[in-house]
């Protein structure tokens, strides 16, 4: 259930679009992949920033 609602919670789509079929599982998968990449990039950037502040 989290996987389906994650794009809704992040504001990428509306819940109604899930219910009425405007968005399908392929769309949900693509949005979740995008959110995963964004989260990973944010973590990498934070680690780089933290390492630069330590020096």
Which residues have CB under 8 Å from 14's CB, separation 6+?
8
pTM for this prediction: 0.84
Radius of gyration for the alpha carbons in the chain, expressed in angstroms and rounded: 15
Of the pLDDT bands very low, low, confident and very high (cuts 50, 70, 90), residue 54 is confident
Q: How far is CA 33 from the centre of its chain?
A: 7
Domain ranges of the chain: 2-54
Q: What is the pLDDT of residues 2-52, one digit of tens each?
A: 999 999 999 999 999 999 999 999 999 999 999 999 999 999 999 999 999
pLDDT reported for residue 55? 67
């Amino acid at each position: 259930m989290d996987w389906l609602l994650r794009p809704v919670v992040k504001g990428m789509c509306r819940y109604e679009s899930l219910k009425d079929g405007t968005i399908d599982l392929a769309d949900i998968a693509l949005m979740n992949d995008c959110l995963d990449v964004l989260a990973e990039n944010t973590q990498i950037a934070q680690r780089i920033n933290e390492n630069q502040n330590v020096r």
